[in-house]
Amino acid sequence: MLSEILKEMGVVGAGGAGFPTYVKASAQAEYVLANGAECEPLVHKDFEIMCRYPREIIAGMALMMASTGAKRGKFGIKEKNREAIDAIEPEARAHGIELLLLGDFYPSGDEYELVYSATGRLIPPAGLPLAVGCVVNNVETYFNVHEANEGRPVTRKFLSVTGAVRKPQSFWAPLGTPFRDLIAHAGGSTTPEFGMFVGGIMMGKLSFDVDDVVTKTTTGLILLPSGHYLVTRKSRPAAAMARIGKSACDQCSYCTEFCPRFLLGYDVQPHKVMRSLGFTLTGADNWNRSAELCCACGLCTLYACPEDLFPKEACDSAKTSLRAAGIKFIQEKPVRVHPMKEYRRVPLSMLRKRLKVEEYETEAPFNSNDAAPKRVWLRLKQHAGAPATPVVEAGARVERGDAVARVGAHDLGATIHASVTGVVRAISEDSIEIGAE
Ligand code: SF4
Ligand code: SF4
């Protein structure tokens, strides 16, 4: 069965969440959707993978359709990406999969947005696409489904390295490759001091750790000089973000008016979450519960707020506190698309301007030479669910593709495989280190 193959071959969502794909493959659905929207500014790896591997991506999608019993397949792709459309279209047509052409807006690749664009259906608040008969996967995940079905496990990650690097590009890197090797592969940084946005400026995290490593969910790195507006903003401590918000938020509600989930009809209102900050010393005792429905797209913080405040981070804190307290938000209002939704979409060009990253917008052409690190550190938790348990010992010789860590038969998670051929040098609580031959 496909789902068993996918668990054993280590296939998880490659677009960021890392949800094990075998769970989706064992569901029944009406629609299987491909998410090729790629709307994070300066991330271009999905565009490149669609141009290079259309046959494999569509074959993986067809496998998921067969596995879920879905009669319809729709492929979300941006209208501006003509080269990728030209590559995907004939393969899709041959499998009866329709293309869904999307505008260049942020965040047209949000799962709720994509399901609505493809089917006109609205996922219930805090629900999953399956609740409205849909299975959604990123395009690289479908590539991995195809590979798994051919007997090739997930051992490498397709990613782009862009921003302040000499040769912005997309390429494959073995899982566990240190970020410093990715940067070297892209010709090195153009600035001595930099921050790295891992997985995107809007929804990724800011890191300064070049020894951190590639996992199954790393979509790429964006380097920006350490004095850049975004690095300064995003490196403020959470307490300072809350303190500034408490004193400076004027409750203009722009954050809510631009919130894509609010505009789709979900009752998330970040200005009310910000208001919570004003009611207590920290806000933590009195969070507005609608934060639960926030998808962390970052638009309120990085685009909408005229005061440069941090409503998205307030929602993050609120979600953490509410979950710890076991409080769940139940939306009473019916989900109805806001009449102004179409008029409040945020074009990527405007977003890049607001983020002050226009000078870094460039292509990230495919480099067919994979990164070749001397050592890799395979994280035991690079998927949603339980961490994997090592099944090899230090000193063992492994071939690329050998299983080195597994999750329990009934645990959520996926097998992890050696990403290089070599010797297991060490096993720690969170990773397996392999020296490449
Ligand atoms: S947009 Fe900014 S200032 Fe306005 S309500 Fe939201 S957080 Fe407050
Ligand atoms: S991050 Fe802000 S704009 Fe995005 S869903 Fe959450 S509250 Fe809405």
Residue 385 belongs to a domain with what CATH number?
Answer: 2.40.50.100
Whether residues 6 and 66 share a domain: the answer is: yes
pLDDT at residue 286 in the model: 61
Whether residues 211 and 328 share a domain: the answer is: no
Q: How many other CB atoms sit within 10 Å of the CB of residue 348?
A: 20
Question: Is residue 300 in a domain?
Answer: yes
Question: What is the C-alpha separation between 272 and 253, in angstroms, rounded?
Answer: 8
Last residue of a domain, one of 124, 149, 174: 149
Question: Is residue 38 in a domain?
Answer: yes
Confidence label for 280 from pLDDT (cuts 50, 70 and 90) = low
pLDDT at residue 185 in the model: 98
Tokens of 21: 């794909």
Question: Is residue 233 in a domain?
Answer: no
Q: Is the pLDDT of residue 282 over 70?
A: no
Whether residues 304 and 437 share a domain: the answer is: no
Q: Contacts from 1-6 at CB under 8 Å and sequence distance 24+? A: 1/26, 1/67, 2/63, 2/64, 2/66, 2/67, 2/145, 2/149, 3/67, 5/148, 5/149, 6/145, 6/148, 6/414
Question: How many domains, the chain?
Answer: 4
pLDDT at residue 329 in the model: 81
**Per-residue pLDDT averaged across 115-134, rounded?**
96
**Per-residue pLDDT averaged across 185-194, rounded?**
97
pLDDT tens digits for range 47-76? 999 999 999 999 999 999 999 999 999 999
Question: What is the C-alpha separation between 419 and 145, in angstroms, rounded?
Answer: 17
pLDDT at residue 186 in the model: 98
Confidence label for 333 from pLDDT (cuts 50, 70 and 90) = confident
- Least Cα distance to 256 among 211, 224, 215, 293 occurs for 293
Domain residues for 164?
156-228+360-373
Last residue of a domain, one of 307, 326, 355: 355
Question: Which of 233, 251, 299 for a ligand 1 pocket mutation test, highest count of atoms within 8 Å of Cβ?
Answer: 251
Instruction: Look at 17 and 409; give whichever has higher pLDDT.
Output: 409
Q: How far is the CA of 212 from the centre of ligand 2 (A)?
A: 27
pLDDT tens digits for range 74-111? 999 999 999 999 999 999 999 999 999 999 999 999 99
Whether residues 163 and 86 share a domain: the answer is: no
**Per-residue pLDDT averaged across 300-323, rounded?**
93
Mean pLDDT taken over the chain: 95
CA-closest residue to ligand 2 atom 6: 294
Whether residues 139 and 162 share a domain: the answer is: no
Q: How far is the CA of 226 from the centre of ligand 2 (A)?
A: 26
**Per-residue pLDDT averaged across 350-357, rounded?**
97
Whether residues 86 and 106 share a domain: the answer is: yes
Whether residues 351 and 364 share a domain: the answer is: no
Question: Is residue 399 in a domain?
Answer: yes
Q: Residue for token digits 């953490």?
A: 320
Ligand 2 nearest atom to the CA of residue 258, by list position? 3
- Residues enclosing ligand 1, CB less than 6 A? 249-255, 271, 274, 304-305, 307, 309, 311
Question: Is residue 220 in a domain?
Answer: yes
Whether residues 269 and 125 share a domain: the answer is: no
pLDDT at residue 207 in the model: 97
Last residue of a domain, one of 320, 346, 373: 373
Query: Where residue 96 sits, what CATH number does that domain have?
Result: 3.40.50.11540
Helix ranges restricted to H, 220-264: 229-234, 238-248, 254-258, 260-264
Question: Is residue 49 in a domain?
Answer: yes
Ligand 2 nearest atom to the CA of residue 261, by list position? 5
Whether residues 82 and 116 share a domain: the answer is: yes
Question: Is residue 261 in a domain?
Answer: yes
Instruction: Look at 281 and 140; give whichever has higher pLDDT.
Output: 140
Ligand 1 nearest atom to the CA of residue 253, by list position? 5
**Per-residue pLDDT averaged across 140-151, rounded?**
98
Q: How far is the CA of 99 from the centre of ligand 2 (A)?
A: 28
Whether residues 384 and 268 share a domain: the answer is: no
CA-closest residue to ligand 1 atom 8: 249
| pTM, entire model | 0.95
Whether residues 142 and 282 share a domain: the answer is: no
Question: Is residue 178 in a domain?
Answer: yes
Question: What is the C-alpha separation between 162 and 189, in angstroms, rounded?
Answer: 10
pLDDT at residue 323 in the model: 84
pLDDT tens digits for range 240-275? 998 898 889 999 999 999 999 999 999 999 999 898
Q: How far is the CA of 313 from the centre of ligand 2 (A)?
A: 9
pLDDT-above-70 percentage for the chain: 98
Question: Which of 243, 259, 307 for a ligand 1 pocket mutation test, highest count of atoms within 8 Å of Cβ?
Answer: 307
The residues near 270 (Cβ < 8 Å, ≥ 6 apart) are: 255, 256, 259, 291, 294, 300, 311, 312, 314, 315
pLDDT at residue 291 in the model: 84
Ligand 1 nearest atom to the CA of residue 304, by list position? 1
Confidence label for 276 from pLDDT (cuts 50, 70 and 90) = confident
Whether residues 316 and 330 share a domain: the answer is: yes
Question: Is the minimum distance from the CB of 109 to ligand 2 under 6 angstroms?
Answer: no
pLDDT at residue 285 in the model: 56
Confidence label for 281 from pLDDT (cuts 50, 70 and 90) = low
Distance from chain centroid for Cα 35 = 11
Task: Print the SS3 string covering 96-135.
Answer: CEEEEEECCEECCCCHHHHHHHHHCCCCCCCCCHHHHCEE
Question: Which of 111, 241, 259 for a ligand 2 pocket mutation test, highest count of atoms within 8 Å of Cβ?
Answer: 259
Q: Is the pLDDT of residue 431 over 80?
A: yes
